[in-house]
Amino acid sequence: MTIKVGDKLPSANLIAGTAEGPKPTTTDEIFGGKKVAFFAVPGAFTPTCSAKHVPGYKDLASDITAKGVDAIVCLSVNDAFVMKAWGENQGVMDTIQMIADPAGDFTKAVGLDMDGSKFGLGLRSQRYSMIVEDGVVKELNVEAPGEFKVSAADYLLAQL
């Protein structure tokens, strides 16, 4: 079942891709007591994710945080080394937390997984964004397959 507005996010172990290397973390650490602008993508270094998704959040980071957001978080079903390399490539290591969901445990728990096998990707996350306050979903924007509209930074900023 897909998570919905008003639901508390499930507890999950994740891994942050940091400048110092992989750092184990949890959903409680990421979302507990914070207002978080969160977006998930099918894959690091993929065309739309690299050309539009991350750059949009990078460009609007100060506008987003000015609305009371404590953290901007990007999640992908990748490993932490890839998320770190992607964050460095995109120049966002100081503004966006790059979070790996290596086995897709969180992604499956929120019901937003997809089968990307026909693109050579395997289990991946759908493209979506959400505003989360203290672990509770306040806004949820799930893209239709092949779309990039409602998970974009400007769309999420308008919801803040």
Q: One of 40, 44, 49, 69 is an active-site residue; which one? A: 49
> Strand (E) positions, 2-147?
13-18, 21-26, 35-41, 71-76, 97-100, 113-115, 123-125, 128-133, 136-142
Is residue 48's pLDDT more than 90?
no
Predicted confidence at residue 43, as pLDDT, reads 87
Is the residue at 34 inside a domain? yes
Instruction: Residue 147: name the closest of 133, 126, 130 by CA.
Output: 126
Residue predicted with more confidence, 119 or 149: 149
Alpha carbon 41 to its chain centroid, in Å, reads 6
pLDDT 10s digits, 54-113: 999 999 999 999 999 999 999 999 999 999 999 999 999 999 999 999 999 999 999 999
Is the residue at 3 inside a domain? no
Predicted confidence at residue 149, as pLDDT, reads 96
Predicted confidence at residue 46, as pLDDT, reads 84
Q: What is the dihedral of CA 89, 127, 53, 137, to 10 degrees?
A: -100
Is the residue at 8 inside a domain? no
**Domain at 153, CATH number:** 3.40.30.10
Is residue 120's pLDDT more than 70?
no
Is the residue at 134 inside a domain? yes
Read off the pLDDT band of 114 (50, 70, 90).
Answer: confident
Is the residue at 41 inside a domain? yes
The total domain count for the chain is: 1
Is the residue at 143 inside a domain? yes
Domain limits for position 147:
13-159
Q: Is 49 annotated in the active site? A: yes
